[in-house]
Amino acid sequence: MVLTNSNKDLLDEMYETALHVAKEAGKVIREAFYKEKKVDTKMSAADLVTETDQAIEKMVETMIMKKYPSHKFIGEESSKDGERHTLTDDPTWIIDPIDGTTNFVNSIPEVCFSLGIKVNKETVIGVVYAPIKEELFTARLGQGSYMNGNKLQASKITDLKKAVILFEGGASRDAKILEDKMANTHSLYTNARGMRSYGSGALSICNVAAGRGQGFFEYGLHIWDFTAGGLIATEAGAVVMDPSGAELDPMHRRVLCACTQEVADSLSKLLVHIDMGWD
């Protein structure tokens, strides 16, 4: 799709649709949040899915494809383990119905619906909605990012020693991967002010955008965990890149986000860069 003035209206409409869909997903999360959940495991005992994840994804996919039948859709629950996706120039809606499923199962409020839209392989819209905390993060390319309508600005800290770094352990239980992740955690406890792990990659990136910490990294997450949050962070002035320092590859299952280039570079130098494959 070529972006022109005439399809500015289409992008406006897609943004409104994204907000509507996020609010509908949020209602379903809220209704199920304090009830008993039917839980299944996926790749490992730490990789969970519930009926609610599946129901939201089905509902959202139906809503989007009915309105935009020629658009592409990538969703966490309809993607099979190990399946490779191909990004095209077509508008592509990338969703995680519940990011923070383990939190959801345990009624911990750090859960969200995440929706990013790419056009010509570039993220143009990002919406992350945390319905229990009533926090709606939004961004459009070149137009800033917001939480509940208030403009976001990432922290200006440049010194890693003054930074709080968010991270996620992820679902892999492979011994070598865990060893490398423990080494990374150790380096950061030694070199940063503090570490936090909230259980949702998407919300962690939004937290960096909101100045609630200065960095986030994870090896092993997926395109649906960081597409929306990535735009929300860069529109708030943060840096989003591959942990090695290279340009972010949306299909490579790893990401580093930091409030400033200086913190990003310090993190990148310290971390053991784990290759967890591709979406």
* 98 carries an active-site annotation: yes
Binding mask 58-87 for ligand IPD (x = CB under 6 A): ------------------x-----------
190 burial (CB, 10 Å; 0-12 / 13-18 / 19+) is exposed
Q: In angstroms, what is the minimal distance from the CB of 221 to ligand IPD?
A: 4
Applying CB under 6 A, does 199 fall inside the site for ligand IPD?
yes
Residue 99, marked binder:
yes
Nearer CB in complex with ligand IPD: 101/207: 101
* Bridge partners for 254 per DSSP: 219
Inter-axis angle of helices 201-209 and 223-235, nearest 10: 0
Rounded Cα–Cα distance for residues 231 and 38 (Å): 33
For residue 259, the Cα-to-chain-centroid distance in whole angstroms is: 16
Nearer CB in complex with ligand IPD: 11/111: 111
Cα distances (angstroms) measured from residue 197 to each of 222, 230, 236, 246, 260: 17, 18, 21, 24, 20
Q: In angstroms, what is the minimal distance from the CB of 143 to ligand IPD?
A: 26
Rounded Cα–Cα distance for residues 72 and 28 (Å): 23
Applying CB under 6 A, does 279 fall inside the site for ligand IPD?
no
* 76 carries an active-site annotation: yes
Taking contact as CB under 6 A, which single stretch among the options 124-132, 152-160, 194-202, 269-277 is the one that binds ligand IPD? 194-202
Applying CB under 6 A, does 126 fall inside the site for ligand IPD?
no
Applying CB under 6 A, does 50 fall inside the site for ligand IPD?
no
Quick one: which of 205, 199, 65 has its CA closest to 123? 205
* 99 carries an active-site annotation: yes
Nearer CB in complex with ligand IPD: 53/235: 53
> Which of 17, 52, 92, 101 is the catalytic position?
101
61, 225, 235, 279: residue in contact with ligand IPD (rule CB under 6 A): 225
Amino acid sitting at position 80: K
Q: In angstroms, what is the minimal distance from the CB of 42 to ligand IPD?
A: 8
CB atoms within 10 A of CB 223: 25
Footprint on residues 161-190 left by ligand IPD (CB under 6 A): 168, 170-171
Residues 6+ apart with CB under 8 A from 8: none
116: which 2 tokens? Answer: 């990013």
* 101 carries an active-site annotation: yes
The answer to whether 141 and 232 are in contact (CB under 8 A) is no
Amino acid sitting at position 7: N
By annotation, the residues acting in catalysis are 76, 96, 98-99, 101, 225
Contact positions vs ligand IPD (CB under 6 A):
76, 96, 98-101, 168, 170-171, 199-201, 218, 220-222, 225
